[in-house]
Copies of this chain bind each other. A is one copy, B any other.
Amino acid sequence: MQKKKRNVIVGQSGGPTAAINSSLAGVYRTAIDRGYTKVYGMIHGVQGLMEGRYVDLSEHIQTGLDAELLKRTPAAYLGSCRFKLPEIFEDKAVYEKIFEILDKLAIDCFIYIGGNDSMDTIKKLSDYAIISGSTVRFVGCPKTIDNDLALTDHTPGYGSAAKYIGTSVKEIIRDGWSLETEKGQVIIVEIMGRNAGWLTGAAALSKGEDCDGPDAIYLPELPFDLEKFIKKIKGILAKKPNVVVAVSEGVKTKDGKYVSDLDDSPDYVDAFGHKQLTGAARYLASYVSREIGCKTRAIELSTLQRAASHCTSRVDILEAYEVGGAAMKAADEGDTGKMVVIQRLSDDPYQAGTEVKDVHKIANDERLVPREWITKDGTFVTDEFITYVRPLIQGDVAPIMVDGIPRHLYRPGFQDKL
């Protein structure tokens, strides 16, 4: 007789995305379909779990409509955390505590939706399970707008962020052209991605039959040269009065200093002496203004780019759902210490499937934009980059509108003090 299935626990970790809750919906659906008794959700990931904070997800996802709302709810429904487990030999007590809770909740499968740090958690917990003889299976479900996870073609969350960035940059370009200014105008758009330029490169998606796209794109993969930058801007301004440049928040000079740190204004130091990041775009806009004397504007897409569930990609939201389901399926079928990856079968027509890979080969590894997908002069992405991203932004998931505003799935007490 088949062993009776017990319970599942799922958590979310790392930076929020517009697709991470679709993965949560996928995990939940597959867990229920495969006969698990209860699906628990960790509140604020392993950090919350260690404090005994979790919910029974069946109380949250009661109807099919709830599941649809969840797919359209931005940021981590369960709350997220940035918490790195110690090495097992450093602090065994932490692991004993977590496994005690898993034991108490009769957990068979532990699914963690997250990025690099989260996969490190899956790696360590699955290692500990082997050492300690626990039968709990640990499977990771990829998520990050940064698209920097190894071994997977791309990560859920990236496509929607890329779509929002392409759409917004196109609107910014159009807006910039409305008004003429005597000496021209330079708009610098700052896009997320500390080390990987996947998001910043997505600004090129604005280019098409009806728009020239941004005039330059600077990714963090290559050293940023202020002199060359100003020369480039001057050259463009000689040909057109409105210039739009996309820069990664993480651009660094060749000596490794963040451009956003070049500003030594004393005003942005907090009570602890921490310098508040001024922003690469603000610094560059100020620099251009001083060097060229034209009108400038710095625009940060800020958290809007990762939370814009009103402008998501259908491919992305559906893949996030599938990947959640695939993670649950893998754990159900006995996998542990694994992460689900997406494998692209074809660009056009776009086809992709999921596979399961060893999390030890993924955790703490960062996948950057290949050098050959950046133009030789380092100021734009190539057609190969566009061919890669384009399929990931296709289709829409219409928000469910209530009284003119997108409805999200409410989590009782989510705005209360804990």
**CB contact under 8 A between A403 and B293, given known A174-B74, A242-B415, A268-B286:** no
A241: Cβ under 8 A from any B Cβ: yes
A245: Cβ under 8 A from any B Cβ: no
Complex CA gap A406/B167 in Å reads 7
CB-CB nearest in chain B for A268:
B286
Interface residues of A in 363-418 (CB under 8 A from B): 390, 393-396, 401-410, 414-418
Minimal beta-carbon separation of A17 from chain B (angstroms): 9
Q: Is the CB of A405 within 8 A of B206?
A: yes
Contacts of A176 in B (CB 8 A): 75, 303
A304: Cβ under 8 A from any B Cβ: yes
Q: Is the CB of A404 within 8 A of B415?
A: no
Residue numbers of A with Cβ under 8 A of B are 12, 15-16, 44, 47, 73-76, 79-82, 163, 166-168, 170-172, 174-180, 205-206, 208-212, 239-242, 263-268, 270-272, 276, 285-286, 289-293, 296-297, 299-300, 302-304, 306-311, 313, 390, 393-396, 401-410, 414-418
Across the interface, A393 reaches (CB within 8 A) one of B209, B286, B404, namely: B404
Contacts of A210 in B (CB 8 A): 407-410
**CB contact under 8 A between A293 and B272, given known A394-B404, A409-B210, A415-B177:** yes
Complex CA gap A308/B167 in Å reads 9
Q: Is the CB of A271 within 8 A of B286?
A: no
Contacts of A82 in B (CB 8 A): 179
Top-4 shortest CB links A-B: A393-B404, A175-B307, A271-B293, A210-B410
Contacts of A211 in B (CB 8 A): 408, 410, 415
Q: Is the CB of B417 within 8 A of A403?
A: no
Q: Is the CB of B410 within 8 A of A74?
A: no
**CB contact under 8 A between A180 and B265, given known A403-B390, A406-B170:** no
Contacts of A44 in B (CB 8 A): 179-180
Q: Is the CB of B178 within 8 A of A79?
A: yes
Q: Is the CB of A263 within 8 A of B267?
A: yes
Q: Is the CB of A310 within 8 A of B177?
A: no
Q: Is the CB of A240 within 8 A of B417?
A: yes
Minimal beta-carbon separation of A239 from chain B (angstroms): 6
